[in-house]
Structure 1
Amino acid sequence: MSEKYSYWLNNALVSESEATEVLTQDVTVDVAIVGGGFTGLWSAILLKQKQPELSIAVLEQSICGSGASGYNGGCLLTWATKYPTLKKLFGDEEARWLVEESEAVIAEIDEFCQAFDIEAELYTKGTYYTATNQAQMGTMDPVVAALKTEKINSWSNVDAETLHSKTGSAVHKEAHYSHAAGSVQPAKLARGLMRVAKQLGVKIYEKTAMETLQETQPALIGTNRGLVTATKVIFATNAWLINQFPELKRSIVVVSSDMVLTKPVAEKLAIHGPDQGVTVVDSRIFVHYYRDTKDGRLMLGKGGNRFSFGNKIDGMFDAKTRYLSQLENSFSWLFPFLNKNDIEHSWTGGSDRSVTGLPFFDRLRGHPHIFYGLGYSGNGVAQTRIGAKILASMVLGEDNRYTQCGLAKGPRGYFPPEPFRWCGAMVVRDAVRRKEVADQHGLKPFIVDRWLSKLAGPAGKADKVS
């Protein structure tokens, strides 16, 4: 297989011996899943666990994990910080349930990896949400207060005396910690899920791209080498879905998330932090996020750099970051005990940002047998398991909390058409950058920049673009 720019994916492929199986003939299945990332693989596994007799095929245009599932930062975060948005959109009861569900799946993923012997370098050591300047301080307070009122709060204040050692950086002024979070080598998790799906009897066809779709009953999916006839279909292709179905194109905007990874520096991390296995996320709109790895490296990511015109994602994967100098500056600022020459890898990937900052699921064009899900908005490594629960329940026609929840009713808003979307995104992005530079230097941002920055995310002060 050709080398990928993502260190995670290269590392995962080196450590496995799975042979690629390509579709070479016509097949008929109960369920066809288009997309071999987290959502598609979790959906296949959950369906097989519920109804082992189902015949299921996963079609992946490249290799499993070669999209966002193998290119993200590997932070297992929850929806707790999005509670204000969840409450505003879905009401108190469902907001509480979604927060609790998003925290529960962290443990579920850990237990699953242990049960099926997936070595995904997974930690469940929690996360720190921090402030790096006066303007960011207090950001989490109203969210925590609301969670406490609902008796679902997992956050606690971090003692100032231990803040710097726990987060690994002296730039942090305050932090809240939650145990309900973790980190994972995402590509290893994706490849592990692929192996388990195969063991359960799912057919995995890599390098098998969908070329045509007939929305008949059963549906007919044409590939370059065979026809798939399927009673039910799940589209789990993340941002790639909008290339197939233009009616969804305005439901998301594709935003880059760019990452750098150091060579092994375990001795320095042992002295300076962060705590092993935790994730750290700051309170910017376009966040910095970082964590260590099991082999003693440090990964730093930054969201919100590149916005794709027309949501074209070709070139956003399998590419080195265009923003290396910005990441190097952030790296030197956050970790003065390291040198930017310690950086060994960089890459970029695309995040499917929805209007609400939350994913959405539905039936495609109202068809009772074709389903889709996307819009994780940079916070989906753990949440894809929730998405798979929704999709599996919809496929099986179940009437439960997953099929009835607000996430299962399609997009809850649309972005403007091009070129207005891209032009608007550039105006807002640049305003956010100016505001955050001013905040960092203790200056008062221009009023227009403060106003435009509010357009970068939905309600809820702790919502992020990552």
Structure 2
Amino acid sequence: MSAPLTPDFANGEVSFWYRSLGVPEPGEPLDGDLQADVAIVGAGYTGLWTAYYLKKAEPHLRVVVLEKEFAGFGASGRNGGWLTGALAGSPERYAKTHSPDAAKRLQRAMFEAIDEVIRVAAAEDIEADIVKGGLLTVARSTAQDVRLREELNYQRQWGWTEADVRLLTRGEMESRLRVSGATGATWSPHCARIQPAKLARGLARAVRNLGVEVYERTPVTEISRGRAVTPYGTVTATYVLRCTEGFTATIPGHHRDWLPMNSSMIVTEPLPEDVWAEIGWNGRELLGDMAHYYMYAQRTADDRIAFGGRGKPYLYGSRIDDRGHTPAWTIDALWSLLTSFFPAMAGFRVAHAWSGVLGVPRDWCSTVHLDRETGLGWAGGYTGHGVTTTNLAGRTLRDLVLRRESELSVLPWVDRRVRSWEPEPLRWLGVHSMYRLYRMADARESRGAERTSALAKIADLITGH
């Protein structure tokens, strides 16, 4: 089914989130060598949060941020707008290197980070369409329903209480949101809707107001001890922090650190009140499902549905289509899935489509690191949970740079070592095999399978998901 498009349909142009704001004109580039206390590479959420907390803690520090395009150009300005408390990675993997209690503390820190983002947005007068409506996760087949309940039991084992997540009755589910074919749902309060580009632009303004120097149109070609090298000059600093997430593979020496995984989104035209009366969604919850080839969605502030999922998940050689153009088949696939969730959408159209990349470590767990001897540090590998995790990472990097012994500096993702991804063509074959198997597993389950397809379990083994 071909997706119907509005007359002013746009593809790429970074993302829909910039449509009402306008895509920013990049600021001035670096103009010569300079000395700083901290040099941050990348002006996405991680870099901006790190700069913000460093300057708030120590106003005298000279903090410099270097950005190839403009602040919020990457995933920070393109994501699904989920300020979620979901952990970026498996608690068991964090527990293996530390303890189960340490993994649970990391999870609690993620929950708390949601309210910290909301607090800072209010304090800095950042209007980012934030509504803390929680997260609805739905099942739409017998196998998905089994996984939903297994996931709930798993969360209970890792410290999630009834106040953190609960199974909804059918009546409770339908009073919130009516998803066609839904067989069950859970709800967690630990999620808020945001407008990603508004948050990114607001943070960029806030750090500049604090005195942080942000140089745009300034690609970093080399990161080494005490140095961030650009075509326009070299920044020397005591600490050089790499905050490049999905773009990390473009930096020499880091090609296999984190795999740039592609995700795509569409957004509808604004929907009238009679459609919302049929769908519900008055609480502005975030919406996800239990499919292997999963989706994510929100009701926007201007009453559209923004709906995302995997398109072409990975480009050979870790290439990045950084302008966000999305193939027609991906748009059609997302539209088909959207209308299967909400048949009332059949008479409406897609207004915008875009794509972006997120960083995936080999073990799918995020890391924060600072080498005190070399001054080199990084944070990232958020596997799609970066809107909240970046805030926690920024505060953690602050404590590491300032040599603070804190609850954050000893969390189990700090100094976590992860092996590199395999060289090509193994990397390409592994990722594409994984997602082909996930699609096949979803198709089998939709035809009535009562348990998770073995194909999905094979896919998990291939890539260590």
TM-score, shorter chain, exceeding 0.5: yes
CA distance in 1, matches of 2:22, 2:147: 40
The higher relative CO (CA closer than 8 Å, separation ≥ 6) is in 2
> Match for residue 396 of structure 2?
390
Please report how far the alpha carbon of residue 418 of structure 1 lies from its aligned counterpart in structure 2 after TM superposition. 1.2
> Match for residue 463 of structure 1?
none
Per-residue CA deviation, residues 161-202 of structure 1 (Å, 9 max, x unaligned), is 232342341222111101111111111101100000011111
Q: Is the 8 A contact 1:304 1:429 kept in 2?
A: no
Matched, 1:77 2:84: yes
> Match for residue 130 of structure 1?
138
> Match for residue 405 of structure 2?
399
> Match for residue 104 of structure 1?
112
CA distance in 2, matches of 1:340, 1:5: 27
The percent of aligned pairs where both chains have the same amino acid is: 26
Q: 1:333 to 1:264 in 2, by over 3 A?
A: same
> Match for residue 93 of structure 1?
101
Write out aligned runs for 1:61-460 (5 A). 61-79=68-86, 82-88=90-96, 90-148=98-156, 151-153=159-161, 154-213=164-223, 215-216=224-225, 219-246=226-253, 248-267=254-273, 268-303=275-310, 305-313=312-320, 315-322=321-328, 323-339=330-346, 341-363=348-370, 367-443=373-449, 449-455=455-461
Q: Report how many aligned residue pairs link the two structures.
A: 449
Please report how far the alpha carbon of residue 358 of structure 1 lies from its aligned counterpart in structure 2 after TM superposition. 2.2
Q: 1:11 to 1:320 in 2, by over 3 A?
A: farther
Secondary structure in 1 aligned to 2:147?
A: coil
Instruction: Write the letter of the residue equivalent to 1:386.
Output: L
Q: Is the 8 A contact 1:37 1:66 kept in 2?
A: yes
Q: Is the 8 A contact 1:251 1:354 kept in 2?
A: yes
Instruction: Write the letter of the residue equivalent to 2:113.
Output: V
Name structure 2 gaps, 5 residues minimum.
1-11
Name structure 1 gaps, 5 residues minimum.
460-466
Please report how far the alpha carbon of residue 448 of structure 1 lies from its aligned counterpart in structure 2 after TM superposition. 6.0
Please report how far the alpha carbon of residue 395 of structure 1 lies from its aligned counterpart in structure 2 after TM superposition. 1.6
> Match for residue 464 of structure 1?
none
Matched, 1:7 2:13: no
Secondary structure in 2 aligned to 1:265?
A: coil
Secondary structure in 2 aligned to 1:250?
A: coil
Instruction: Write the letter of the residue equivalent to 1:381.
Output: V
CA distance in 2, matches of 1:138, 1:85: 24
Aligned-pair Cα RMSD in Å: 2.5
Structure-1-length-normalised TM-score: 0.89
CA distance in 1, matches of 2:110, 2:452: 37
CA distance in 2, matches of 1:36, 1:411: 24
CA distance in 2, matches of 1:447, 1:40: 40
> Match for residue 41 of structure 1?
48
74-83 or 430-439: bigger deviation: 74-83
Q: Is the 8 A contact 2:247 2:359 kept in 1?
A: no
Structure-2-length-normalised TM-score: 0.89
CA distance in 2, matches of 1:100, 1:446: 29
Q: 1:12 to 1:234 in 2, by over 3 A?
A: farther
Please report how far the alpha carbon of residue 79 of structure 1 lies from its aligned counterpart in structure 2 after TM superposition. 2.6
Secondary structure in 2 aligned to 1:414?
A: coil
Please report how far the alpha carbon of residue 405 of structure 1 lies from its aligned counterpart in structure 2 after TM superposition. 2.5
Please report how far the alpha carbon of residue 443 of structure 1 lies from its aligned counterpart in structure 2 after TM superposition. 4.1
Q: 1:270 to 1:326 in 2, by over 3 A?
A: same
Q: Is the 8 A contact 1:37 1:68 kept in 2?
A: yes
Secondary structure in 2 aligned to 1:28?
A: strand
Q: Is the 8 A contact 1:331 1:340 kept in 2?
A: no
Q: Is the 8 A contact 1:234 1:371 kept in 2?
A: yes
